[in-house]
């Protein structure tokens, strides 16, 4: 049996998964003890996209497919359009 030429023998890579834990990386940044977490929590949470609602115009009500009246957004579920003529209980 012939041995392959040295150029054809690739160097074997290391193991696929290293079972030894990686060394800890250096810690950077400002220590948390200098600042109260409440201020950073408020900054990260934001205002719930209230700023976006202020930029957008009010939605235009679609016409009811059954009777043609303009639909309204009920206070109980202000994301679902309801027709006051066809469904008076839902539209209020």
Q: What would the pLDDT profile of 17-44 be if each residue is shown by its tens digit?
A: 667 777 777 777 666 666 666 766 666 6
What's the predicted TM-score (pTM) here?
A: 0.40
Q: What mean pLDDT is predicted for residues 62-72?
A: 93
Residue 73 resides in a domain: yes
In a domain, 6, yes or no: no
What is the rounded average pLDDT for all residues in the chain?
76
Range of the domain at 84: 61-92
Task: List all residues 6 or more positions away from 71 whose beta carbon is below 8 Å from its beta carbon.
Answer: 61, 62, 63, 64, 81, 82, 83, 84, 91
Return the DSSP state at 54.
H
Please, which pLDDT band fits residue 63 given cuts at 50, 70 and 90? very high
pLDDT, position 43: 67
Q: What's the rounded Cα separation, in Å, for the pair 54 and 42?
A: 19
Q: Give the pLDDT mean for 10-21.
A: 65
Residue in the structure block whose two tokens are 């930029």:
55
- Is residue 67 included in any domain, yes or no? yes
* Residue 50 pLDDT: 76
Question: Does residue 65 carry a pLDDT above 90?
Answer: yes
* Residue 89 located in a structural domain: yes
- Residue 43 belongs to some domain of the structure: no
């Amino acid at each position: 049996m012939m041995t392959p030429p040295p150029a054809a023998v690739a160097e074997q890579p290391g193991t696929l998964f290293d079972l030894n834990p990686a060394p800890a990386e250096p810690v950077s940044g400002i220590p948390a003890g200098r600042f109260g977490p409440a201020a950073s929590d408020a900054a990260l949470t934001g205002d719930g996209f209230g700023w976006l609602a202020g930029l957008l115009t009010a939605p235009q009500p679609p016409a009811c497919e059954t009777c043609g009246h303009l639909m309204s957004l009920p206070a109980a579920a202000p994301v679902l359009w309801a027709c006051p003529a066809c469904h008076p209980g839902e539209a209020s």
